Amino acid sequence: MTALRPLIAGNWKMNGLELSLDEARAVAAAVEARPPAARVAICPPATLVHRLAEALGGTGVEVGGQDCRAESSGAFTGDVSAEMLTDAGASLVILGHSERRAGYGETDALVAAKAGAAHRAALEPIVCVGETRAEREAGRTLDIVTGQVRGSLPEVLGGKPFAVAYEPVWAIGTGLTPTSEQIEEVHMAIREVLTAMFGDHGARVPILYGGSVKPSNAGEILRLRDVGGALVGGASLKAADFLGIIEAA
């Protein structure tokens, strides 16, 4: 079973003003000059999706949102729908990030509804899962993560483009990373669930690792079994760092 092309996605989180477009342009120029093995995407805050999509159009670097609402429109002050992201030029969307699960009480069922909305709007969802430090210490990592995968991916994604990102909560923004064995153990467990849910397609979809990925550890992480790319926070904000990760893929 051939794996799909790896994906390196940058999650800018709530960072980025007009000036930051220059970093993205530098990434795109390098990617155009030397096309990497991986697909590359940048997910800026919603305010920059349209400008980034215009700036990067035709370069091969894709643009994604960081969240969307499950409904396509309506009286939901402050929210953004999947259709709006597509309309602004996005082709992907991060869903169920732990910062949203923890900060906004997003449940697996809500994330699944958002993933369905992404599919409806022709966006490729990157669905995030991951255990907290307490859950890992209690020996519950595989239960938690496989439960999140089962609950957060609607059946409608069968045969459609999507990715799962394993992001241990304790590794995000901390400089800590799991051991190679820990990453492989979780990715293999996710793969098993995906294959059970989606058959051959589930056996091939990229499973990204996220949490303190940087140029110095990217090569080692990206070579691990069943690691099909990376979801990168802090190190995606500077072109030089992000390119170091892209080149390691």
**Would you count residue 246 as binding ligand 13P (CB under 6 A)?**
no
Site map for ligand 13P, 18-57, x if CB under 6 A?
----------------------------------------
Q: Which residues contact 15 (CB under 8 A, 6 or more apart)?
A: 45, 237
Roughly how many angstroms between the first and final C-alpha of the chain, as a whole number? Answer: 20
The single-letter DSSP state of residue 43 is: E
Pick from 125, 45, 59: which is nearest to 88 by CA? 45
**Would you count residue 211 as binding ligand 13P (CB under 6 A)?**
yes
| Three-class secondary structure of residue 31 per DSSP | helix
Determine the residue type at 92.
L
**Would you count residue 231 as binding ligand 13P (CB under 6 A)?**
yes
**Would you count residue 206 as binding ligand 13P (CB under 6 A)?**
no
Nearer Cβ to ligand 13P (202/211): 211
**Would you count residue 148 as binding ligand 13P (CB under 6 A)?**
no
Residue 59 Cα distances to 7, 21, 41, 53, 232, angstroms = 16, 14, 11, 10, 20
**Would you count residue 16 as binding ligand 13P (CB under 6 A)?**
no
Which two three-digit tokens encode residue 94? 């991060």
**Would you count residue 172 as binding ligand 13P (CB under 6 A)?**
yes
Q: How far is residue 47's CA from residue 116's CA, in Å, rounded to a whole number?
A: 23
**Helices in the chain by DSSP H: which ranges?**
21-33, 46-56, 82-88, 98-104, 108-120, 133-137, 141-152, 180-204, 215-222, 239-248
Catalytic residues: 97, 167
Among 46, 117, 213, 246, binds ligand 13P (CB under 6 A): 213
**Would you count residue 168 as binding ligand 13P (CB under 6 A)?**
no
| Three-class secondary structure of residue 248 per DSSP | helix
Nearer Cβ to ligand 13P (114/201): 114
Shortest separation between residue 173's beta carbon and ligand 13P, angstroms: 4
Piece of the chain touching ligand 13P by CB under 6 A; list 152-160, 199-207, 211-219, 221-229: 211-219
**Would you count residue 167 as binding ligand 13P (CB under 6 A)?**
yes
Q: How far is residue 31's CA from residue 246's CA, in Å, rounded to a whole number?
A: 9
**Would you count residue 131 as binding ligand 13P (CB under 6 A)?**
no
Nearer Cβ to ligand 13P (83/99): 99
Shortest separation between residue 98's beta carbon and ligand 13P, angstroms: 7
Nearer Cβ to ligand 13P (11/148): 11
Among 35, 57, 158, 173, binds ligand 13P (CB under 6 A): 173
- Would the CA dihedral through 69, 158, 99, 139 be positive or negative? positive
Residues near ligand 13P, by CB under 6 A: 11, 97, 167, 172-173, 210-213, 231-235
